[in-house]
Amino acid sequence: MNREDFSILDQKVYGKALVYLDNAATTQKPNVVIDTLSKYYLEQNSNIHRGVHYLSSSATAEFENARRSVQTFINATSDCEIIFTRGTTESINLVSSSFGKTFIKEGDEIIISEMEHHSNIVPWQFVCNERDANLKVLKFNEKGEISVKEFTKMLTNKTKIVAITHISNSLGTINPIKDIIDIAHKHNVLVLIDGAQAVAHCKVDVQELDCDFYCFSGHKMYAPMGVGVLYGKKNILEEMHPYQGGGEMIKEVTFEKTTYNELPFKFEAGTPSVGDVLGLQRAIEYMRNIGLDNIAQHEHKLMEFTLAELRKIEGVRIIGEASQRAGVISFLIGDIHPYDLGVLLDRQGVAVRTGHHCTQPVMEHFGIPGTVRVSFAMYNTIDEIKIFINAVKKAKEMLS
Ligand code: C6P
């Protein structure tokens, strides 16, 4: 893979070569994405959809072109189904708030899973509190897998929506989302997929999945921070109440009454982060040139190698042993605190994440304070994994 495209990786920390294995938190950005951002601010910066002048019309055209790139990337039916947000968190909040206001009544039920990121728990708690609805939680087993059979049993005629992660950010589990979607639809229940950990690692086709909403963040897919996407089916978005009020989302405003703009603008109040959206488009182009299948294959090899090497270390416990899994590996060693291990890895140049990873219920399930987590991206190498494994062994020795 084109490691030299990521200048940031070519540096030393504490005198050691940087080994960046915290990609589930955020990926590094290829130079072409950074160049796109700087070109935007050097040559193109202007507010969009508002001005008649040259810069504004060309920035508007590029912004709308980026929307079409995202549409093609996830195979949405129309570009009006692509709403730019600040990230997965905002995309989920948008749906929970707007869908909640429009469709959720007292006594209705919302299903989430036990392995959700806090971003896919708390917004639904808000809705349930506001509307007197009930939040139901689909549990996972000791391997970190959910059961489609158990899920089916939870559906009732009160269930309105299911919100579930495509890939778990703390267990690495790839959930059987196609089955969940098909079963939910048979019961007339809508499905939101949290795709934060999926879009950069496997092909996502929203028409094939037939999900009703799909949410993701640019910064986890080689794009700048500050931009994300909500995909929603047109007919559902059209019925939903707007999320935020302000410029762009209106058709006509009087003090008596306001009418709303058409999709997707109805959900894009205020000035968007135009440069970041163009960066996202460039990141998509970059990934497509390498090929999602090639990226997935490469990361799978890294994952298999890491799991095998970690298992050779005495006392290592892998948290999350799902048979369908992605390149996110959580682990513990004996009773060493994950934070202590993380600090010693850092001193050896290895960047990992420690803690609960914004999935406290997952930690509660296993009765642990947190984990050490490594997560891969296209630019990681087997040599880096070897450095990481040696660093783990050294840290273990120091802490035992
Ligand atoms: N997970 C991690 O280190 P934002 O912050 O909006 O870009 O993404 C939120 C989010 C939602 N769902 C899942 C499955 C996620 O993994 C994340 C972000 C980071 O695991 C930061 S906590």
Q: pLDDT per residue over 161-177, tens digit each?
A: 999 999 999 999 999 99
Q: Are 99 and 126 in contact (CB under 8 A)?
A: no
The residue nearest atom 5 of ligand 1, judged by CA position, is 89
Whether ligand 1 lies within 6 angstroms of the CB of 309 is answered as no
Whether ligand 1 lies within 6 angstroms of the CB of 165 is answered as yes
CA of residue 85 to ligand 1 center, whole Å: 14
β-pairing verdict for 19-20 and 16-17: unpaired
Q: The tokens 């299903």 sit on which residue?
A: 111
Task: Extract the tokens encoding 279.
Answer: 């960066």
Task: Ligand 1, residue 119: give the atom nearest the CA.
Answer: 11
Positive or negative CA dihedral for 127, 132, 133, 137?
positive
Mention every residue, 6+ apart, whose C-beta is less than 8 A from residue 112: 120, 121, 124, 135, 136, 137, 138, 162, 163, 164
pLDDT at residue 400, as a whole number: 86
* Number of residues that make up the chain: 400
Q: The tokens 């130079």 sit on which residue?
A: 31
Name the residue among 24, 348, 341 with its Cα closest to residue 170.
24
Q: Are 333 and 317 in contact (CB under 8 A)?
A: yes
Whether ligand 1 lies within 6 angstroms of the CB of 144 is answered as no
Task: Extract the tokens encoding 340.
Answer: 């202590």
Low-confidence ranges of the chain (pLDDT < 50): none
* Residue 190, phi then psi, degrees to nearest 5: -85, 160
CATH numbers and ranges of domains, the chain = 33-288 (3.40.640.10), 292-399 (3.90.1150.10)
Q: Are 358 and 169 in contact (CB under 8 A)?
A: yes
CA of residue 56 to ligand 1 center, whole Å: 33
Name the residue among 229, 222, 349, 223 with its Cα closest to residue 295.
222
The residue nearest atom 16 of ligand 1, judged by CA position, is 169
Q: Which residues pair with 350 in a beta bridge?
A: 19
Pocket mutation for ligand 1, best pick of 21, 86, 89, 124 (most atoms within 8 Å of C-beta)? 89
pLDDT at residue 346, as a whole number: 98
pLDDT at residue 241, as a whole number: 97
Whether ligand 1 lies within 6 angstroms of the CB of 148 is answered as no
Radius of gyration, CA atoms only, the chain: 22
Whether ligand 1 lies within 6 angstroms of the CB of 86 is answered as no
| Residue 20, number of CB atoms within 10 A of its CB | 23
Tell me how far apart the alpha carbons of residues 98 and 79 are, in angstroms, rounded to a whole number: 20
25: helix, coil or strand? coil
pLDDT at residue 27, as a whole number: 98
CA of residue 198 to ligand 1 center, whole Å: 11
Whether ligand 1 lies within 6 angstroms of the CB of 119 is answered as yes
CA of residue 313 to ligand 1 center, whole Å: 29
Q: How far does Cα 186 stand from its chain's mean position?
A: 27
Tell me how far apart the alpha carbons of residues 83 and 230 are, in angstroms, rounded to a whole number: 5
The catalytic residue among 80, 128, 215, 358 is 358
Whether ligand 1 lies within 6 angstroms of the CB of 89 is answered as yes
β-pairing verdict for 328-333 and 316-319: antiparallel
The torsion angle over the Cα atoms of residues 167, 121, 231 and 155, rounded to 10 degrees, is: 90
| Residue 134, number of CB atoms within 10 A of its CB | 15
CA of residue 254 to ligand 1 center, whole Å: 39
Q: Does residue 358 have an active-site annotation?
A: yes
Whether ligand 1 lies within 6 angstroms of the CB of 353 is answered as yes
Name the residue among 340, 333, 303 with its Cα closest to residue 316.
333
Task: Ligand 1, residue 116: give the atom nearest the CA.
Answer: 14
Confidence (pTM):
0.98
Give the tens place of pLDDT for each residue, 125-167. 999 999 999 999 999 999 999 999 999 999 999 999 999 999 9
Tell me how far apart the alpha carbons of residues 370 and 338 are, in angstroms, rounded to a whole number: 6
Whether ligand 1 lies within 6 angstroms of the CB of 25 is answered as yes
174: helix, coil or strand? strand
β-pairing verdict for 19-20 and 82-85: unpaired
CA of residue 382 to ligand 1 center, whole Å: 25
CA of residue 88 to ligand 1 center, whole Å: 7
pLDDT at residue 50, as a whole number: 79
